[in-house]
Chain A
Amino acid sequence: DTAVSQTPKYLVTQMGNDKSIKCEQNLGHDTMYWYKQDSKKFLKIMFSYNNKELIINETVPNRFSPKSPDKAHLNLHINSLELGDSAVYFCASRRQGAGGNTIYFGEGSWLTVV
Chain B
Amino acid sequence: SQQGEEDPQALSIQEGENATMNCSYKTSINNLQWYRQNSGRGLVHLILIRSNEREKHSGRLRVTLDTSKKSSSLLITASRAADTASYFCATEGGNEKLTFGTGTRLTIIP
Contacts and interface: CB of A to CB of B under 8 A. Distances in A.
Interface of A: 4, 31, 35, 40-45, 48, 56, 90, 92, 97-100, 102-108
Interface string B55-94: 0000000000000000000000000000000101000100
B42 A108 contact: yes
B45 to A, nearest CB: 4
**B-side binding surface: helix, strand, loop or mixed?**
strand
B92 A100 contact: yes
Given A42-B2, A99-B96, A100-B30, A105 B44 contact: yes
Interface of B: 2, 30-31, 33, 37, 40-45, 48, 50, 86, 88, 92, 95-100, 102-103, 105
A99 B100 CA distance: 15
